A and B are shown apart, each in its own frame.
Chain A
Amino acid sequence: MGEQSSSHSSAQSRRRFLGNIARAAGGAGALALVVGLFARQAQTLPAQALRPPGAGPEADFLAACIRCGLCVRDCPYPTLSLADMSSDVPVGTPFFVARKVPCEMCDDIPCVKACPTAALDPNLTNIDDADMGLAVLVDEETCLNFQGLRCDVCYRVCPVIDIAITLEISHNTRTKKHAVFIPTVHSDKCTGCGKCERACVLETAAIRVFPRHLAKGRIGEHYRLGWEEKAKHGGESLAPGLVDLPDRLPDQLPDALKGWKP
């Protein structure tokens, strides 16, 4: 009798114990989900926020950066800052806004050296290889050079002048007798330092630096450019022989074309 009741109560306490464990585990799972969902929401980086040199893709960076701010401390300029709760940048992570203070592209890259976790890639030793973003001339309608004026400021301030940004000359169709000098960014050379955006003389910059995934288009994986393939294969076309479709002419040719042969 006594044994039975004690085994009964031990079964009861076991059931209570398992119930408590299940409840706690469920609660922990729910919390993990909520925190995870919040993280999903909070990890979208605003377009004007740029990461320090050496930062990988945003998802990798948010796994690697422990938000210590050592990069901010070793940045000799007021470029980098840590995101506060009030900004849209994930809290505690380092960023800069090119229009406010661009990256000065130090030769010794102190921010990368300061990073204890390699969230800023220590293999980046030449600052010209940095890829913080990509400058894009977003507004041709206000850019002074596009109007035929010789502003050239974005070109002049570029630390990789004549390589990352060049002035391409074309005909000025408005005056019909002058040239326009079009600032042209070369995406494989631009480091995204933001000096061009900072220096743009307009009220609101016509050239801006965006994270690369926002700045670049991407051609379809299957797409082949005939002339590139031809160059790669020693002058052989991808599709050998000219595919010549039959010419169609209207049944009734106008008088001017009488006697014309394709």
Chain B
Amino acid sequence: MDFFSDFAEKFYDNFIKDDRWRYLTDGLMNTLLITLFAVIIGLLLGFIIAIIRATHDKTGKLKVLNLISKVYLTVIRGTPVVVQLLIIYFVIFASVNIDKLFVAVLAFGLNSAAYVAEIVRSGIMSVDKGQFEAGSSLGLGYNQTMITIILPQAFKNILPALANEFIVLLKETSVSGYIAIADLTKGGDIIRSQTYEAFMPLIAVALIYLVIVMFLTFLVGKLERRLAKNDKR
């Protein structure tokens, strides 16, 4: 009996009293917002880098852009995302008054782009080279072949890997608190600092992430099965 009344009391303290649950919902909103826009930046920039790299691998052109891309990938993938976030906020935008959410979107977007680029490039490389030759033999130029023949097939091959990258990204945004953004993780931490109670808020935060990730994983699985079915037609 003690346990339950204790639990109810703690639940009240941590979530109901002073509307503390709002730290979690507001935090979740920020987490989702950062993730969504970072995904968009990651996809756009990632695709561009991947096409530069694949074009270089296939034709030997775009040497300078390829070199820049390679340096970019090395730096981004070789350093922790928290450090990148801190550098962008405290070094690059040090003297500018700028929305912190924007900084986070930029940092996570630039970071994700590096991983998306390698996924997309592997997708382009996974398309049989006969497809490219077939396009060329019909007189289609490099860009036309890429856009109408290679990329649609590559995209289909990498959809599951891309989706997984975004699940990882969602969890990575939990370090946004380093630049004092009240994301989901920070929200739980604020509750902890007010109630001196760690268990409830932190477990709640973990559960929310878990549910979202499980839901996204479920969607990816469904997508994968549908794509596999299309192959068997």
Is this pair of chains taken from one and the same complex?
no
A-side interface residues toward B, CB under 8 Å?
none
B-side interface residues toward A, CB under 8 Å?
none
